Copies of this chain bind each other. A is one copy, B any other.
Amino acid sequence: MQYSPIRRFNPLAKAAEDKGMRVYKLNIGQPDIVTPECFIGAIRNYDQKVIAYQQSQGDANLVQSIIAYTERDYGVSYDEQDIIITMGASEALTMAFSVLLNKGDQVMIPEPFYTNYTTFIALAGGSVAPVPTSPADGYRYADRELLERHLTDATKAIACISPGNPTGNVLTDDDKEVIAAFAEDHDLWIIADEAYREYVFDGRKPSTFAQVEHIRDRLIVVDSVSKRFSACGARIGYAASTNREFMEGMLKIAQGRLCVPTVDQVGAAALFRLPASYYDEVRAEYEERRDAAYEEIMRIPGVVCRKPGGAFYMSMELPVEDAEDFLLYMLTEFNEENETVMFAPASGFYATPGSGRSEIRIAYVLNPADMRRACWLIRTGLERYKAR
């Protein structure tokens, strides 16, 4: 197990800040969007005298608010037993892999992928079977032939993060049918990580994998309030599945850790009751940021980047041999009017050794003007880095 590749450059960034530098932080998915006031408002109104254990499955009121939201916005129905509240999507994934995997089982994941999956799966005794994609192709993976090529006897599940982290790749309805048919033919579970569900651009319609009716019994949707409501510190997520045997396994594990914090669930229930217009506003804001960032990024000579369709990440290949070395330069040597920029080197998002060394991920979590400035700093930094 290694230190998080997203977080391990933090000490260098802090050292730069201590020297008086401003560091634009595009490395971590921590949005600057204000958390809706109803979150802390609901907690402020919480008047129970004892902050008691909540049910292991989660606050019934929060579960109901998630059911109502999914029905309202996606026309998808869940029963109460189909939902279990977790400490962020991270815990939902850790628990789900523990239920699904036996020692030696493999989980197919298109790479690059959100790094912590390696840990979640390893803790359950399994391993990642990466499905390679390329920046030139916009990191697409919903290709039956590609998937078949990476199937083994040990494959137990396929995990899809859509909209994608770190790629921003969004599965279309047709893509989902490709993956669904593949999973059905090989009797695989589908883990659909939809933490960024609402953040799709260019007129795409937000969707959930649960809308594909015929695979619902092999589907586990994982979700979170972190990105949707800019409430990363609430640590509220959930897993949803209509497969009862799976959910029973989840409940057993959930009982082992007793429950998820009580007041955060009170706040989260209020978040899921926000009107659909909330998503429209935030989506428009992210789309503007993406457009600003993409325009600036495409001015970098030699960059390979396809415009991402969703989430708030953009991955790209830079004309460097080693993006970590470039980041090191940006944090320790580069200085443009006391400003520099931090991003995530993409090699940490790859399971295949040596892959992604020239790639980086940026999170467009700053306002459009800051995004432009930060991307300009990457371009300027690259020029100076290569001219050394």
Q: Which residues of A contact B (CB under 8 A)?
A: 1-4, 7, 28, 30-35, 39-40, 43-44, 46, 49-54, 56, 87-88, 90-91, 94, 98, 116, 119-120, 123, 230-235, 249, 251-253, 255-264, 267
Most-contacted residue by chain B among A49, A88, A94, A235 (CB, 10 A): A235
Contacts of A119 in B (CB 8 A): 253, 256
Q: How far is the CA of A33 from the CA of B7 in the complex (A)?
A: 40
A33 touches B50 (CB 8 A): yes
Per assembly, the copies of the chain total 2
Distance of A152 Cα from B154 Cα, bound (Å): 35
Q: Are B258 and A90 in contact (CB under 8 A)?
A: yes
A3, B255: Cβ atoms under 8 Å? yes
Bound CA–CA A37/B238 (angstroms): 29
Give A231's nearest chain B residue, CB to CB.
B51
Closest to A49 in B: B34
In the assembled complex, the Cα of A255 lies from the Cα of B116 at a distance in Å of 9
Q: Which 6 A-B pairs have the closest CB atoms?
A: A233-B262, A4-B255, A119-B256, A51-B233, A235-B261, A53-B232
Smallest Cβ-Cβ distance to A229: which chain B residue: B51
CB of A32 within 8 A of CB of B50, answer yes
- Contact present for B255 and A234 (CB under 8 Å): no
Closest chain B residue, CB of each to CB of A37:
B49
A225: nearest chain-B partner, CB-CB: B51
Residue of B nearest to A117 (CB): B256
> A162 CA to B135 CA in the complex, in Å?
56
The chain B residue sitting closest to A28, CB to CB, is: B53
Contact A234 B261 (CB under 8 A): yes
A264 to chain B: which residues have CB within 8 Å? 261, 263-264
Point out the residues of chain B lying under 8 angstroms from A255, CB to CB.
3-4, 7
Given contacts A123-B98, A252-B3, A264-B264, contact A51 B232 (CB under 8 A): yes
Q: Which residues of B lie under 8 Å from residue A1 when comparing CB positions?
A: 249, 252-253, 256
16 more A-B residue pairs beyond the given contacts A34-B50, A51-B231, A120-B256, with a C-beta to C-beta distance below 8 A: A1-B252, A1-B253, A1-B256, A3-B252, A7-B255, A30-B50, A33-B50, A35-B49, A43-B43, A43-B44, A88-B257, A98-B123, A116-B258, A235-B258, A261-B264, A263-B267
CA distance A53 to B229 in the complex (A): 13
Find the B residue at minimum CB distance from A31: B50
**A87 CB contacts on chain B under 8 angstroms:** 87, 235, 257, 261
Chain B residue contacts of A56, Cβ below 8 A: 4, 7
- Some 21 contacts from A to B, beta carbons below 8 A apart, are A3-B255, A32-B50, A34-B49, A43-B43, A44-B44, A50-B230, A51-B231, A52-B232, A52-B233, A53-B232, A87-B261, A90-B258, A91-B257, A116-B256, A116-B258, A119-B256, A233-B263, A234-B262, A263-B264, A263-B267, A264-B264
Decide if A261 touches B261 in the complex (CB within 8 Å): yes
Chain B hits for A94, CB < 8 A: 257
- A7 neighbours in B (Cβ, 8 Å): 56, 255
State A31–B3 Cα separation when bound (angstroms): 38
Chain B neighbourhood of A28, CB < 8 A? 53
Query: Cα distance A148–B262 when bound, in Å?
Result: 43
A40's partner among B230, B252, B263, B267 (CB-CB below 8 A) is B263
